[in-house]
Chains A and B, each alone.
Chain A
Amino acid sequence: MSQHPEAAARFIADNERMAWHDRSIWNARKKRDLASHSIEEWEQLRSWASDIKEHTLAHLDHYLEVFEKQATANGVKVHWAATAEEHNRIVLGILRENEARHMVKSKSMLTEECHLNPFLEANGIEVIDTDLGERIVQLREEIPSHIVTPAIHLKKEDVSKLFEEKLHTEPGNADPTYLTREARKHLRAHFLACDAALTGVNFAVAETGTVVVVTNEGNSDLGVHLGKVQIHSMGIEKLIPKWQDLGIFTRLLARSATGQPISIYTSHYTKPRPDVPMHIILVDNGRTEQLSREHFRKSLACIRCGACMNTCPIYRRSGGHSYGSTIPGPIGSILTPGKDLKKYSPLPFASTLCGSCSDVCPVKIDIHDQLYRWRQIIAEEHLLPKYKTIPLGLAGRIFARGKRYDQAGRIARWWLRRLPAWMVNSRLNAWSKHRDLPNAPRNSFKEWYEQNRPHGS
């Protein structure tokens, strides 16, 4: 079971580091605000993007077939994988067919989801993640803690130590420019030595059979153009119908993700180079199941910008690793329970339901409503822990009857005014872990209103 509360408690135990993490990620949210506010028609773009994604999901079978036909006509080999295992076997098959043993990979949350690296490594393939952040977490044998900035949980001193050990950089030199240049040299050698490249996909255009990959570092293209075979792995929900739709999505993606007006490289791979095979793998791995759930279908519209994470008060203060799932944060908390409800049942509760995630989502996913729906399903399926069911059951009985509620309120206020503070804010009261309860008033709001409401109303 993913134990978000326990993992989060460990994260916040280092108060200073938590505050740093919170500030640092809030910074990304602020940049997103500046970038989105500079576009007058932002809300219109969100509506179009949402409608296009809903349209595509409603006709996904059609667009998948159109895409396959177009890509095949472009000289690309298209594969279908119902599961993660099938996907991994297809990748291995392509590598063996091309006698490739050294693969460079640019960022792909899908291959994280499929656990591709350990599978390939067990089969004698060297896999090098080439996005700087992703390479850092790979060297640390961790998973990304954020879908856009995988190593956001680390300080530069952590990276310095890691590079000193693995890349033999100068001890104690934590200058980000120095560390980035050393990583550049290290990765350039791998690019030049690679014989295969695999990338994720941001958008796949059905009309033209094109896959679009967005990076700031240029790592996707260096791999793809230097390898002897290129592979693009994509979830089936990455499709969009038309070439012109890219106009809408490219305007939204980087502004939502990092606050940039556009990422540095937006690469459109349509046809292979002469004599270099190009493969696209269409992966289901639970997506059609999510599509079948009416209330959670819209979660498949996600374009993986990470804005919901950057704005989430829980994510910022608990870190991506606390979620125990490939995709953390609000969007991860509505996608992952669909894979294994029992295992991931704590995730929909890792939210204040404040709704900020839904507000910043560039494709208008009703994230907080879906979190709430998962909570209801989890309660119905009796997957809640006792520390939730017992107080909730009690509260339910009190809230159900007006008189009982008034009476309970009176008793609680009476005791709260008389009990010593150390008892009110004791360890039993989880709410008071980091703050004290305010003083209880003499009257309830209801009583106050009865006395103060204007006459005649």
Chain B
Amino acid sequence: MDPKKQILDRIRSIRQAPKPYPPQAIESQEKDLAEAFTGMVKLSGSTLLRFEDQQTMIDEFVKAGHPVNEWVSTWDPLIRMGASEAGKITDARIVISCAVLPGKFGVAENGAVWVPEEAMGQRTIPFLAEHLILIVHAKDLVATMHQVYAVNQPGSYGLFIAGPSKTADIEQHLVLGAQGPLAHTVILLG
């Protein structure tokens, strides 16, 4: 018998009272989003840097002796400064010391940043980089996961990233740097 039909018939043969979808009224929590976001990012073992705007960040951070030509990015200002285009990295064996990607939204309640596929160049980049830097604009911060799911779209692929990869599978000892990046930095602009 066709397993699909078998499963659906089986479900339909079960008498269940209809149960309505619950109405949800989620209040937006107005508080200092940047402060809450900063606290949560740091709590997850990440670094948070804050700059007034893009230019200040370039002047004070990027130009402060960082090897931009060893970086990988999808962000035009960095590519113009010598970073490799993330979409053009074809060999997964190449060590990516640092990838810098623009995040679309930041979530204040947990420090997570929504990164859609378009921001990655390709899907492997956020995981193969040893150090991942995500850039978020303060105006793109939201309070909770409810608010972010109201504005982000599934697209083809996207994810929340909330810190460096980590594990506590050996005797509950927290180790930063499991399978993905060893270090995680969030740059907050504005």
Q: B149 to chain A: which residues have CB within 8 Å? A: 243-244, 246-247
Per a CB cutoff under 8 Å, which of B158, B165, B175 touches A176?
Answer: B175
- B8 CB contact (under 8 Å) in A64, A131, A132: A64
B11, A61: Cβ atoms closer than 8 Å: yes
Residues on A with beta carbons closer than 8 Å to the beta carbon of B80:
none
Say which residue of B2, B12, B172, B179 sits within 8 Å of A61 (CB atoms). Answer: B12
A238-273 interface bits toward B, Cβ cutoff 8 Å, 1 = contact, 0 = none: 000101101110110000001011111111111111
A82 to B3, CA, bound (A): 5
Establish whether residues B171 and A55, one from each chain, have CB atoms under 8 Å apart when the complex forms.
no
A235 to chain B, nearest CB (A): 11
Our pick among A52, A81, A243 for the contact of B154 (Cβ within 8 Å) is: A243
Is A282 located at the chain interface by the 8 A CB criterion? Answer: yes
Instruction: Check A80–B146 contact: CB distance below 8 A.
Output: no
Contact B7 A155 (CB under 8 A): no
Does A22 reach chain B (CB closer than 8 Å)?
no
Which among B48-56, B62-70, B107-115 touches the partner chain?
Answer: B107-115
A208–B158 alpha-carbon span in the complex (Å): 13
Within 8 Å CB of A24, what residues of B? 171-172
Complex interface: chain B residues within 8 A of A226 (CB): 92, 124
Interface locus among A1-9, A177-185, A393-401, A434-442: A177-185
Given the known interface contacts A80-B3, A216-B166, A221-B180, the answer about A265 and B160 at a Cβ–Cβ threshold of 8 Å is yes
| Among candidates B2, B112, B166, residue contacting A217 with C-beta atoms closer than 8 Å | B166
Decide: A270 near B157, CB < 8 A? Known: A51-B19, A243-B149: yes
Q: Count CB-based A-B contacts (< 8 Å).
A: 227
- A264/B166 in contact, CB under 8 A: yes
Interface digits, B155-190 against A, CB 8 Å rule (1 contact, 0 not)? 111111111111111111101011111000000000
Q: A180-B175, A217-B167, A218-B127 are in contact. Are A288 and B7 (CB under 8 A)?
A: yes
Residue of B nearest to A288 (CB): B10
A133 and B146 contact, CB distance less than 8 A: no
CA distance A265 to B162 in the complex (A): 7
**Which residues of chain B are within 8 angstroms of A48 by Cβ–Cβ distance?**
22, 24
Q: Which residues of chain A are near B8, meaning CB under 8 Å?
A: 61, 64-65
Given known A-B contacts A52-B22, A132-B178, A176-B171, A82 and B7 have beta carbons under 8 A apart:
yes
B37 to chain A, nearest CB (A): 11
Q: Indicate if the CB atoms of A268 and B154 lie closer than 8 Å.
A: yes
Q: Is B88 an interface residue (CB 8 A)?
A: no
Question: Bound state CA distance, A179 and B2, in angstroms?
Answer: 47
Q: A218-B181, A244-B24, A262-B111 known; 5 other A-B pairs, CB under 8 Å?
A: A152-B172, A180-B178, A210-B154, A246-B149, A265-B162
In the complex, 8 of the A-B residue pairs with CB atoms within 8 angstroms, ordered by the A residue number, are: A51-B19, A58-B19, A150-B169, A216-B166, A226-B92, A266-B112, A266-B162, A292-B10
